[in-house]
Chain A
């Protein structure tokens, strides 16, 4: 069998944005780009889940639930996504093969732990990575992983391991692809952007809970202040290291997704021809810059250079600053009215 027709590998910062972008572009939406997919998917978020632990550290996320970006982005444009999960690998593989025979590239949710083309150091039990499978030859599947610079391939048994990784967020062979992609005119795109902006600012500014949205940063700050006395410097250092990894590691585009979102706002400003959004974009950029600066301060702690309480307080103050900035910015965005018919 030959390679499917003209599937283009697109590298992106984040895997789910990448799969959404590539698949939608493949189906004819040439205007789709990573920031747009992320923005329309209402991707920006912050949550600090208390009592829960991930890899023995705090459970923090800078983005919404895995899977939601593609779901919301396509829903907002009226695109239907077909999804399937499987009990057995044979059924999963049969279905995948039939889609490839048809020549349809498909998105697959996979676990990172068994992924052979990732460096060992990055292979934790994280089960919400996304790749595109777009062809098969001599028993090897062609894989376009959005965070990689080039395309790769996986054998059938390697694919079984990653598609049926277990643990939290187990993929269970999850496979998905756009079923019908309507023509999208400018007005529809504008409408979708306005709705996405409003939804995202709602999530960030309107939920009266300390752990969700902009106020979540404050909550984390409060925790950080207590860590050195409560759990000791060594464990606090590890926790801070975990926050930095969640915020900066591959997939975030830097600054806890803030820069991708700022790029979306910039794009939205152009499409909606609304200069106010440039200003919001600048403020989210600033928030990303604050996060980068905060990462540098945290690094000084886990490298063991600065480990006194005052340094933890400094980090916490940084989080308060971010909370304040984002609260203000998203409230402004939430109250903004757009006239898209003009």
Chain B
């Protein structure tokens, strides 16, 4: 990449930092230059977040319908997947999958709820009282 081709587009890094890029200067040598961003990847990041928001919205609706437990919603809200949640809680995936069922979730002990609440950095009340409706 030539130095004059390095894009300086707006990105989410604005006000945080600029990133270091390696470009060729007029002499044909490599040089380090800071870039504020590139539209192409800003849009890729945006797309990824749209998908995250979709998943959160889907989870919220499922909780409101009573099809899934709030754990699913908070898992999506924290951009976690099963393996990450399993690592944060120490539960097996198969148990987590069971806890996704509202009926099983109702009967969870306070101890287990506390583990989930800690993983999501919320209180037990927030976890228990989330109904996906508001």
Contacts and interface: CB of A to CB of B under 8 A. Distances in A.
Interface of A: 11-13, 34-35, 55-56, 113, 117-119, 121-122, 124-125, 147-150, 166-168, 170, 237-238, 240-242, 244-245, 248-251, 253-255, 259-260, 262-263, 266, 285, 288-289, 292, 295-296, 299, 302-303
Contact of B38 (A121, A237, A248, A288): A248
Contacts of B94: none
A299 B38 CA distance: 11
Nearest to A237: B47
Contacts of A260: 22
B73 to A, nearest CB: 17
B97 interface: no
Contact of A253 (B18, B20, B40, B81): B20
Contacts of A121: 12, 45, 49
Contacts of B78: 113
Contacts of A302: 43-44, 47
Interface string B10-52: 0011001111111110000110101100111101110111010
Given A35-B22, A125-B84, A266 B30 contact: yes
Given A167-B88, A266-B30, A238 B47 contact: yes
A244 B44 contact: yes
Interface of B: 1, 6, 12-13, 16-24, 29-30, 32, 34-35, 38-41, 43-45, 47-49, 51, 78-81, 83-84, 87-88
B68 to A, nearest CB: 17
Contacts of A288: 1
A13 B34 CA distance: 9
Contact of A285 (B21, B24, B32): B24
23 contacts: A11-B20, A13-B32, A35-B22, A55-B81, A119-B12, A121-B12, A121-B45, A124-B79, A125-B84, A147-B20, A166-B84, A168-B84, A238-B48, A241-B48, A248-B40, A250-B13, A254-B6, A254-B35, A259-B21, A260-B22, A285-B24, A289-B1, A296-B40
Contacts of A244: 40-41, 44
A332 to B, nearest CB: 20
Contact of B45 (A148, A149, A245, A303): A245
A273 to B, nearest CB: 16
A303 B43 contact: yes
Contact of A255 (B1, B20, B29): B1
Nearest to A123: B79
A241 B44 contact: yes
Contacts of B22: 13, 35, 253-254, 259-260, 262-263
A13 B84 contact: no
A123 B18 CA distance: 16
Contacts of A170: 87
B134 to A, nearest CB: 23
A110 B33 CA distance: 26
Contacts of B35: 254
